[in-house]
A and B are shown apart, each in its own frame.
Chain A
Amino acid sequence: MSVYVLRRLLQSLLVLVAMSVIVFIGVYAVGDPVEILISPDADQLERERAIQALGLDRPLWEQYLVFVQRALQGDLGRSFVFNEPALRLILQKMPATLELAFGAMVIAILVGLPLGLYAGLRPESPGARLIMAGSILGFSLPTFWVGLMLIMVFAVQLGWLPSTGRGETAALFGLHWSFLTANGLSHLLMPAINLALFKISLVIRLTRSGVRETMLMDYVKFARAKGLSPARVTFVHVFKNILIPVVTVVGLELGSTIAFSVVTESVFAWPGMGKLIIDSINALDRPVIVAYLMIIVLMFIVINLVVDILYSVLDPRVRLEGSR
């Protein structure tokens, strides 16, 4: 067990190093680092001083070591636009993104599970066909366009929900959250639904195929033969067994939800990390771009690592294969 965890940890570290090299080369070698790291407003003297200070006159591998050394101390450069440490800027925006992503996950499960259950129990009914057709649409619809249409219908035409922004926030654990106030919740609802659409389709399909497979199992047949009520068979015997894989996949999708929130945040002007990175790319605020990429890569590596270790705890086959 510990050997497996150690191996996995080592692999993650390797990936992290590889990604830092890619980001480093992307910023320092593909583009002109002077142009990237020094504000375009700087004059000639300032530029030369900055080149010296940043060590841009030294060989590339030495520059990489300096970059890593500073990154380890939490120094990923200062934003040109906000003149603040890039890392702090991103960490400030993180709660908004996390709140949106978790909101989307909750909606995906609350909507997707019952619909998938119904489609799995009555696969031939018109309702189930409608649900499945809807899930194809959910996979095909471009997220950003659906977001625009949601704004058009519910904010512009009907005026039920606010179109953009985060609304009022309340403090919890020293951070600001929208879901604690009624106004904030009304701002959160539409972006969260928008981000959830794709995941709802995913949960519907997973649940449906899970139900259809489980219904054929011997223990379900036995429970029915015993004369248990259909409701008890469905909710105790079937439901319990499909819940584990569904929740696992949804958990795994957390990372991609955070990544795709870039789109939703831009549509709804939700002030999270995703909107920050798009604004930074458009403003050529490269230190923030580098910091965002490094943080999100780190986040992904940690999520993948945790999921893999959890798997190996739950399923001995995984770690046996790893030690072979």
Chain B
Amino acid sequence: MSEAALEPAAAREETPFRRFVSEFMASKVAVGGLLVFAAVALLALFAPWIAPQNPYDLAQLDIMDGRLPPGAVGGSGITHWLGTDDQGRDMLSGIIYGLRISLTVGVGSALIACLLGASLGLLAAYAGGRTDSVIMRLVDLQLSFPTILAALMILAFLGKGILNVVIALVVVEWAYYARTVRGSALVERRREYIEAAQCLALPTSRILFRHLLPNCLPPLIVVGTIQIARAIALEATLSFLGLGVPITEPSLGLLIANGYEYMLSGKYWISFYPGIALLVTIVSINLMGDHLRDVLNPRLKK
């Protein structure tokens, strides 16, 4: 709070959003996390223009370039800064394209889970009674089982594939959003503005999504940020175990798994660099999430 008040910008009309931005920017660590994450996201978004090689185009791969150490120049004249894997695929290109899949699956599943979980949480809080207790029992059941176990169960039934991984991640994650939204919605629904909206006989869906939901957003953003990091990590783990994405579209987890057998002979780079990329992505999101929790937590404010 104090940092925000010192800034001249605060003298302008203070909107909640502007205050939020200036408070978020007050932490160097969080801004660093944001910058790193933005860089990672841009890399993933513009992968075809940035990567030195298209790792899915088998015509560009030369098996003779297989397992080159970092910095070696391959047969096609490309310098492989991070080495190549057993297929002769440039690791840097593989990582950039892998980031694309990891981020898409992670962010995508988090968004779907958020939509589903938040809707159910709102419904539980607003309807109360039996609806509430049924939804919350489901949440309890989901949360009492470790994420990896539930995901394993779903993939064992459905089989591999990007879509199935997304389904598994959504099933594993929705309960966190539902619980969070229900908690804050229970507090908000007793406020006067909800009563006013009810008196105006607005449709329930409008009250839920236009009046109740915006006021439950702060904790939802915090949970969402952390869940994105968890989704990316879980997807990587599932792919590493061979239950996640197919081999034709390797995410970071699968790239790491590919390097496993070569690591014992000292060829570390096939597993090492994708892991670093994964680590940087997850840490940058967690740093943002950690600070967001402080910024958006009303208990830490006067």
Contacts and interface: CB of A to CB of B under 8 A. Distances in A.
Interface string A144-181: 11001101100111000001000000000000000000
The range of chain B's interface size is 35 or more
Given A143-B237, A277-B152, A300-B144, 10 more contacts: A23-B153, A31-B157, A141-B282, A145-B271, A148-B259, A152-B268, A156-B263, A260-B146, A263-B240, A278-B243
A26 B237 contact: no
A83 interface: no
Contacts of B263: 148, 151-152, 156
B200 interface: no
B241 A262 contact: yes
A157 B265 CA distance: 10
Contact of B148 (A18, A137, A263): A263
A262 B275 contact: no
Interface string B228-264: 0100010011001111000000000100100110011
A206 to B, nearest CB: 17
A148 B260 CA distance: 7
24 contacts: A26-B156, A136-B283, A136-B287, A137-B283, A140-B233, A141-B279, A141-B282, A142-B233, A142-B279, A143-B237, A144-B253, A145-B236, A148-B271, A149-B275, A151-B263, A155-B264, A263-B237, A263-B240, A281-B243, A282-B242, A289-B156, A293-B156, A296-B149, A300-B144
Contacts, number: 103
A18 B145 CA distance: 14
Nearest to A262: B148
A293 B146 contact: no
Nearest to B238: A263
Given A142-B279, A148-B263, A136 B290 contact: yes
Interface of A: 15, 18, 23, 26-27, 30-31, 136-137, 139-145, 148-149, 151-152, 155-157, 163, 255-256, 259-260, 262-263, 266-267, 277-278, 281-282, 289, 293, 296-297, 300, 304
A278 B256 contact: no
Interface string B143-167: 0111011001101111000000000
B283 A140 contact: yes
A64 B266 CA distance: 51
A163 B263 CA distance: 11
B196 interface: no
Interface in B216-237: 229, 233, 236-237
A283 to B, nearest CB: 11
B147 to A, nearest CB: 9
Given A136-B286, A256-B146, A262-B148, A145 B278 contact: yes
Given A148-B256, A148-B275, A156-B263, A142 B146 contact: no
Contact of B286 (A31, A139, A155, A300): A139
A160 to B, nearest CB: 15
Contact of B236 (A139, A142, A255, A297): A142
A300 B275 contact: no
Contacts of B20: none
A139 B233 CA distance: 10
Contact of B275 (A27, A145, A255, A259): A145
Contacts of A18: 141
Contacts of A27: 157
Given A163-B264, A263-B237, A30 B158 contact: yes
